[in-house]
């Protein structure tokens, strides 16, 4: 987790940057030591807890700006640990949310307040926060871009309205803190976006809608499992069957697979598009694990090494990992596409009754 404390009026802002480009924010009132967490990522829940303790902060609010379809939220685990109030829009229907604010409702932090604005478009339940000369735009307005509006009930016309009716009336000097940035930027200003953001130069609503909906990118990998976790509160599956893994790969999710086998094993047979991180190097390459969209599917020969990796990552605060049951052997035998194709090499040493190599 990388942070860089900034200020907006009397409030302090600690951006919480995830290697995937996700952005969360800890908004604090220095006088009362009360804090609000916006869009926390499950991978960084332990780091946020440590930060709260080290700074002597009381977590009062945990806010999801919208239903996340690309990463697991930390809201449930942190609300349970810290006793804070979970906040989301009523349309989100997230299990465990106890406060669903009205448009323009303030969330108090000591004598300060953060104002909630309903800003649908990316999703119907999307909210943005306004506080102390700062706009926390979630997945609506980005630095140099805007959000997609082609899944989860999104609406490009509503996104245009939210940007122009809710966000752009704010002053030019308003600091913009987006929910994602893929170029390692932390903030911008609304004046800068008016000048440089090509989407804000499209002032005709119909043209904006036509441009935004001209093509549909691929949906986030493993979206169904993420929604079960973020909306329904169902735990991430500890195991994924070979058949489920095949379906995920067929829908473009090969990049969510982390193969922890040796170089020789991977050369013999592997799943095209999967990521290879040797088991012995998994912790020193933890940021590469974090960069892999969750739920991450951990793969070895049969499953034992993958389970060890899953446990080791969990001990270091990295969740959202699911072992592919039966490993590469089960995947290939179930009809999954592989490269290299030497299943015999994967089976050498006794097959399903043989133990995996011991961890080093």
User: Does residue 189 sit in the same domain as residue 250?
Assistant: no
Per-residue pLDDT tens digits for 54-105: 999 999 999 999 999 989 999 999 998 778 999 999 999 999 999 999 999 9
What is residue 18's predicted lDDT score, i.e. its pLDDT?
Answer: 92
User: Does residue 68 sit in the same domain as residue 141?
Assistant: yes
What is residue 360's predicted lDDT score, i.e. its pLDDT?
Answer: 36
The answer to whether position 38 is within a domain reads yes
| 38 SS3 class | strand
Residue 347 predicted with pLDDT over 70: no
User: Does residue 107 sit in the same domain as residue 178?
Assistant: yes
User: Does residue 84 sit in the same domain as residue 156?
Assistant: yes
User: Does residue 184 sit in the same domain as residue 242?
Assistant: no
Per-residue pLDDT tens digits for 132-166: 899 999 999 999 999 999 989 999 999 999 999 99
Give me the CATH number covering residue 43.
Answer: 3.60.15.10
User: Does residue 13 sit in the same domain as residue 124?
Assistant: yes
Torsion angle (degrees, nearest 10) of CA 164, 169, 173, 174: -70
The answer to whether position 312 is within a domain reads yes
User: Does residue 335 sit in the same domain as residue 276?
Assistant: yes
What pLDDT band is residue 217 in, cutting at 50, 70 and 90?
confident
CA atoms of 202 and 159, how far apart (whole Å): 13
Q: What is the rounded average pLDDT for all residues in the chain?
A: 91
The answer to whether position 304 is within a domain reads yes
User: Does residue 127 sit in the same domain as residue 23?
Assistant: yes
Give me the CATH number covering residue 282.
Answer: 3.40.250.10
User: Does residue 245 sit in the same domain as residue 166?
Assistant: no
User: In Å, how far are 10, 36, 37, 139 from 13, measured between CA atoms?
Assistant: 10, 10, 10, 18
pTM for the full predicted model: 0.85
Range of the domain at 273: 237-353
User: Does residue 141 sit in the same domain as residue 258?
Assistant: no
CA atoms of 31 and 29, how far apart (whole Å): 6
What is residue 359's predicted lDDT score, i.e. its pLDDT?
Answer: 42
What pLDDT band is residue 9 in, cutting at 50, 70 and 90?
low
What is residue 120's predicted lDDT score, i.e. its pLDDT?
Answer: 98
The answer to whether position 222 is within a domain reads no
Pick the closest to residue 126 from 108, 106, 112, 147 (CA basis): 147
User: In Å, how far are 146, 217, 226, 250 from 93, measured between CA atoms?
Assistant: 25, 26, 15, 30
What is residue 256's predicted lDDT score, i.e. its pLDDT?
Answer: 95
| 111 SS3 class | coil
User: Does residue 138 sit in the same domain as residue 185?
Assistant: yes
* Number of domains the chain is built from: 2
Q: Which residue has the tokens 């490009």?
A: 156
Q: Which of 196, 212, 228 is the last residue of a domain?
A: 212
CA atoms of 2 and 331, how far apart (whole Å): 37
Mean pLDDT on 318-340? 95
Mean pLDDT on 207-229? 88
User: Does residue 255 sit in the same domain as residue 303?
Assistant: yes
Mean pLDDT on 171-197? 95
What is residue 356's predicted lDDT score, i.e. its pLDDT?
Answer: 35
What is residue 32's predicted lDDT score, i.e. its pLDDT?
Answer: 97
What is residue 342's predicted lDDT score, i.e. its pLDDT?
Answer: 72
The answer to whether position 72 is within a domain reads yes
């Amino acid at each position: 987790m990388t942070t860089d404390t900034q200020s907006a009026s009397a409030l302090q802002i600690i951006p919480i940057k995830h290697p995937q480009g996700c952005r969360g924010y800890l908004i604090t009132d220095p006088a009362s030591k009360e804090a609000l967490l916006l869009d926390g990522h499950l991978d960084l829940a332990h780091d946020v807890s440590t930060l709260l303790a080290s700074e002597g902060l009381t977590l009062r609010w945990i806010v999801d700006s919208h239903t996340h379809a690309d990463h697991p939220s930390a809201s449930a685990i942190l609300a349970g640990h810290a006793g804070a109030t979970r906040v989301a829009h009523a349309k989100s229907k997230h299990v465990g949310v106890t406060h669903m604010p009205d448009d323009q409702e303030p969330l108090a932090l000591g004598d300060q307040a953060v104002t909630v604005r309903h800003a649908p478009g990316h999703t119907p339940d999307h909210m943005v926060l306004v506080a102390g000369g700062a706009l926390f735009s979630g997945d609506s307005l980005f630095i140099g871009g805007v959000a997609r509006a082609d899944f989860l009930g999104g609406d490009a016309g509503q996104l245009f309205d939210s940007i122009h009716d809710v966000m752009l009336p704010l002053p030019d000097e308003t600091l913009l803190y987006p929910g994602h940035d893929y170029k390692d930027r932390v903030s911008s200003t609304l004046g800068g976006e008016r000048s440089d953001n090509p989407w804000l130069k499209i002032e005709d609503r119909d043209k904006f809608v036509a441009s935004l909906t001209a093509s549909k990118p691929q949906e986030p990998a493993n979206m169904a499992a993420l929604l079960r976790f973020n909306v329904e509160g169902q735990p991430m599956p500890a195991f994924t069957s070979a058949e489920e893994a095949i379906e995920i790969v067929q829908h473009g999710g090969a990049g969510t697979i982390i193969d922890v086998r040796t170089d020789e094993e991977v050369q013999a047979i592997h799943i095209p598009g999967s990521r290879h991180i040797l088991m012995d190097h998994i912790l020193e390459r933890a940021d590469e694990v974090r960069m892999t969209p969750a739920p991450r599917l951990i793969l070895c020969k049969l499953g034992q090494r993958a389970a060890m990796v899953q446990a080791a990552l969990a001990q270091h605060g990295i969740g959202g990992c699911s072992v592919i049951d039966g490993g590469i052997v089960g995947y290939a035998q179930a009809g999954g596409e592989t490269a290299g194709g030497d299943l015999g090499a994967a089976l050498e040493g006794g097959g399903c009754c043989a133990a995996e190599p011991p961890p080093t």
